[in-house]
Structure 1
Amino acid sequence: MYKTDVLYVAYLRVSTQRQGYSGLGLEAQREIIQNYLRETKPIFEYVEVESGRKTDKGRPKLKEALSQCRTYGAKLIVAKLDRLARNVSFLSALLESDVEIVFCDFPQANKMVLHILASISQYEAELISTRTKQALAAKKARGCKLGNPEHLMDKHKEAIAKSNETNRKKAEDNPNNKRAVAMLRILAAQGKTLSEMTDTLNNEGFVTSQGHEFRVSQVYVLLKRYNIKY
């Protein structure tokens, strides 16, 4: 997995409108990729500011990254599957292309698994869009004024802050997270890397608040949330 003779081109993406919801900023993506590669460094890094639902026509940085992969015989590396695409047909075309793609959150996943995950991600995105449109239509039908430019951004930020605070309190009260955090403090003090801490939690039987194995991105969030230095 960590061969130094393998070349990588890193691709990072944030959404213009939804980047605040993901909790996975550019620095977090860089750290996840670097912890996956360990001593190896990407030969190029491309940052896209674009919605994940757009196709390749709206993804110029992705085109450049793929071009560099072909030029240098490198692999495209992405921190998380949904950082590349939520559109199934778009992802399918990429997976069938001549460029090998590595997803840090699913390094061993085959193409069939990635297709399934992309389908679920696309379905969730479409479901959110449909519900948002229905909610706006219902408000408009009740005579509510929509999209007041003077207050819309403030309300948007307030809603995000409340949601983050609610999620934080739920996470702090969850016994699974408490046990995992206690172990992370020990591992961080031992100088373990993000990937090593994730592997240790999973090997020792720790699970997330939802009862699943930990991913690197989830461990990163816990470390930041509890201000654990590593």
Structure 2
Amino acid sequence: MRQTGGSFAQTPPSSVKSYVAYLRVSTQKQGQSGLGLEAQRAAVGTFTQTAQLLEEFVEVESGKKNVRPKLQAAMALAKAKGATLLIAKLDRLSRNAGFIFQLRDAGVDFVCCDMPDANTLTVGIFAVLAQHERELISQRTKAALTAKKAQGAQL
């Protein structure tokens, strides 16, 4: 028995576990280049070698936003099929610790490819770290834009 994001998942040794993959990049440029998506897809592919991947959902959206149609669809399919939501890394799910805790509390079963045996404590710590990184990214972006404006750049 191992704990995934929302609950303890018991998988009998003879059964094949089912997953619904959710891949996310933050910008259209990342989505068009495919590089971030390909790395996530590779992690999911490695993780599901001995499992069943039901479907893959791809979204180009900021991790700040909690309302994401593709994520909602992925979660709905996972619940309907009794599958686990699979993400490459926790920050691909969200960079908002509160949102991740809401998913857990709502019983959304999820697992991260890069830390498949994570428990509630581990997920909580990494969720807070992802949120902190989001805040740092925002500060750096604002500082860079302020510097560009000071140099006379049109934004």
Please state which band the TM-score falls in when normalised by the shorter chain. 0.7 to 0.9
- Structure 1 unaligned segments of length 5 or more: list them: 148-230
Structure 1 equivalent of residue 124 of structure 2: 115
Q: Which amino acid aligns with 1:84?
A: L
Separation in 2, partners of 1:30, 1:118: 21
Map 1:161-172 onto structure 2 (within 5 A): none
TM-score, scaled relative to structure 2: 0.80
Structure 1 equivalent of residue 103 of structure 2: 94
Supply the RMSD in Å over aligned alpha carbons: 2.3
Map 1:34-45 onto structure 2 (within 5 A): 34-45=45-56
Deviation at 1:75, TM superposition (A): 0.6
Judged with a 3 Å threshold, the aligned counterparts in structure 2 of structure 1 residues 14 and 135 are, in CA distance, closer, same or farther, namely: closer
Judged with a 3 Å threshold, the aligned counterparts in structure 2 of structure 1 residues 127 and 17 are, in CA distance, closer, same or farther, namely: farther
Structure 1 equivalent of residue 152 of structure 2: 144
Separation in 2, partners of 1:37, 1:139: 45
Separation in 2, partners of 1:54, 1:74: 24
Deviation at 1:117, TM superposition (A): 1.0
Deviation at 1:43, TM superposition (A): 1.0
Separation in 2, partners of 1:49, 1:137: 26
Q: Greater helix percent: which structure?
A: 1
Structure 1 equivalent of residue 17 of structure 2: 6
Structure 1 equivalent of residue 26 of structure 2: 15
Deviation at 1:99, TM superposition (A): 2.2
**Per the alignment, in what secondary structure is the counterpart of residue 144 of structure 1?**
coil
Map 1:185-196 onto structure 2 (within 5 A): none
Identity %: 49
Deviation at 1:17, TM superposition (A): 5.3
TM-score, scaled relative to structure 1: 0.56
Deviation at 1:18, TM superposition (A): 7.0
Structure 2 equivalent of residue 126 of structure 1: 135
Relative contact order, CA 8 A, sep 6+: which one is greater? 2
Structure 1 equivalent of residue 7 of structure 2: none
The structure whose Rg is larger is: 1
Structure 2 equivalent of residue 225 of structure 1: none
- Structure 2 unaligned segments of length 5 or more: list them: 3-10
